[in-house]
């Protein structure tokens, strides 16, 4: 069932040079900002103190932030946790003050403003633990990328694997580049969003690649450009419905999920938008660049025809 029907093939490949320019510019800028500005790593990675406090009524986050600024802790993170009465405070490491002293200072200042505040939990994340988390996160990203390449290479051809992983890493670098440029806090939840986008983007790539392979069999005398344009156009209805529905949910989390989900949903929003673009323009353009030849089509013909959900 198609809600969006296209009577003619959309000439995506005729725009591949313009797409390549856009991709190169955004990619280079992202790498530049990552290298020069760096990431604003959260307490999860840098280490610090995490305080969970509870109020008898809805907590005033703005007032709590102003109290921390008065304590010369302007770089602290304040957000609701679980309910509007529960507040999670993340404080960076202060070498001259112990965790117990730091929590006591903050709690006393909060009690002066509201005597109903109660300390629920105090945790300390050491810098060594944070460094290990960052290293493990980078390894997870590496292993996921290698797994995607291996899957696409076996499922299709090695050229499809190269095209797919470049398109997916294109999305990851741009997400991280946005966080570096705007100095948004990069935490474990954001890393989880990045890994989720890798899996999400590869699904779109598989659908388009599978339709390209089917068209290779059906249209033996058609040029590769026309085959790819036809494959992308045939899957556009699915792309609009799937990504549109997903994006609506993510935007709802972004707007109404509170500070706890804000950067997580922001990373997903950026990743989904660029994931659609990269699957259509970057991945398919790289296939054209690598040059899928008629000999490759013979190899594809020997593989059994399967349906990975490419039917619109």
Digit-coded pLDDT (tens) for 143-164: 887 887 788 777 777 777 788 8
Find the mean pLDDT for residues 100-114.
87
In whole angstroms, give the CA distance from residue 51 to residue 127: 17
The count of other CB atoms within 10 Å of the CB of residue 184 is 17
Better-predicted residue by pLDDT, 273 or 36 = 36
In this prediction, residue 309 carries a pLDDT of 43
Rounded Cα gap, residues 204 and 49, in angstroms: 40
Q: Read off the tokens for 174.
A: 């741009």
pLDDT at 178 over 90: yes
Are 22 and 162 in contact, with CB atoms under 8 Å apart? no
Bridging pattern class, strands 40-41 and 185-186:
parallel
**Count of other CB atoms within 10 angstroms of residue 299:** 11
Average pLDDT of the chain is 81
287 close to 159: Cβ distance less than 8 angstroms:
yes
Angle at 236 between CA 273 and CA 144, to 5 degrees: 50
Distance CA 185, CA 39 (A): 8
SS3 4: coil
Structure-block tokens of residue 109: 């200042």
SS3 133: helix
Arithmetic mean of pLDDT, 60-86: 84
Determine the Cα–Cα distance for residues 187 and 77; give it in Å rounded to an integer. 12
Q: What is the pLDDT of residue 306?
A: 46
- The mean per-residue pLDDT over the stretch 261-285 comes to 87
pLDDT at 294 over 60: no
CA pair distance 74, 53, nearest whole angstrom: 18
Report the pLDDT averaged over residues 4-17: 80
Judge whether residue 298 has pLDDT over 60: no
């Amino acid at each position: 069932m198609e809600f969006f029907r296209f009577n003619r093939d959309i000439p995506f490949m005729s725009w591949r040079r313009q797409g390549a320019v856009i991709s190169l510019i955004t990619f280079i800028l992202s790498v530049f900002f990552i290298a020069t500005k760096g990431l604003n790593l959260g307490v999860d990675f840098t280490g610090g103190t995490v305080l969970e406090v509870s109020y008898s009524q809805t907590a005033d986050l703005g007032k709590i932030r102003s109290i921390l600024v008065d304590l010369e802790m302007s770089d602290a993170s304040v957000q609701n946790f679980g309910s509007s009465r529960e507040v999670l405070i993340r404080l960076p490491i202060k070498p001259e003050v112990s965790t117990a002293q730091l929590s006591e200072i903050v709690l006393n200042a909060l009690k002066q403003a509201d005597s109903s505040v109660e300390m629920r939990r105090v945790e300390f994340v050491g810098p060594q633990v944070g460094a290990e988390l960052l290293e493990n996160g980078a390894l997870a990203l590496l292993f996921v990328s290698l797994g995607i390449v291996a899957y696409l290479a076996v499922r299709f051809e090695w050229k499809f694997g190269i095209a797919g992983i470049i398109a997916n890493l294109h999305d990851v670098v741009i997400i991280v580049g946005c966080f570096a440029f705007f100095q948004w806090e990069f935490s474990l939840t954001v890393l989880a969003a990045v890994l989720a986008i890798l899996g999400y983007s590869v699904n779109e790539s598989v659908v388009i690649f599978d339709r390209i392979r089917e068209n290779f069999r059906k249209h033996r005398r058609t040029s590769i450009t026309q085959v790819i344009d036809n494959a992308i156009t045939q899957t556009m209805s699915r792309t609009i419905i799937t990504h549109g529905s997903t994006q609506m949910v993510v935007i709802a989390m972004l707007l109404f999920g509170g500070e706890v989900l804000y950067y997580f949903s922001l990373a997903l929003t950026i990743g989904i938008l660029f994931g659609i673009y990269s699957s259509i323009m970057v991945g398919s353009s790289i296939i054209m660049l690598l040059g899928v030849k008629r000999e490759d089509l013979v190899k594809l013909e020997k593989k059994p025809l399967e349906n990975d959900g490419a039917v619109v």
